Amino acid sequence: MTETEIAKRQRSVKIAKAINSIEGVPIPEETNEFFRQWINGEITDEQLTEIMLSMCKRI
């Protein structure tokens, strides 16, 4: 994972959080660890998507 890729992923998370905030959709604190893992390349895009979908189904 290059520094450029990490920076892009950090920006993506920041934008996603901002959009959710504007829409009034709270983001659970537990997602921060999954975002960190994704930013650092520890989990794939698909894994992050699956985690987020499973969290939405619990609500």
Return the pLDDT at 59. 57
When pLDDT is averaged across residues 46-57 and rounded to a whole number, the result is 91
Q: Is the CB of residue 18 less than 8 Å from the CB of residue 25?
A: no
DSSP state of 25: -
SS (H, E, C) 31-56: HHHHHHHHHCCCCCHHHHHHHHHHHH
pTM: 0.87
Joined together, the tokens standing for residue 39 give: 């930013």
- Domain range summary for the chain, segments of one domain joined by +: 3-58
pLDDT tens string 4-48: 999 999 999 999 999 999 999 888 899 999 999 999 999 999 999
- The terminus-to-terminus CA distance of the chain in angstroms comes to 33
pLDDT of residue 50 exceeding 70: yes
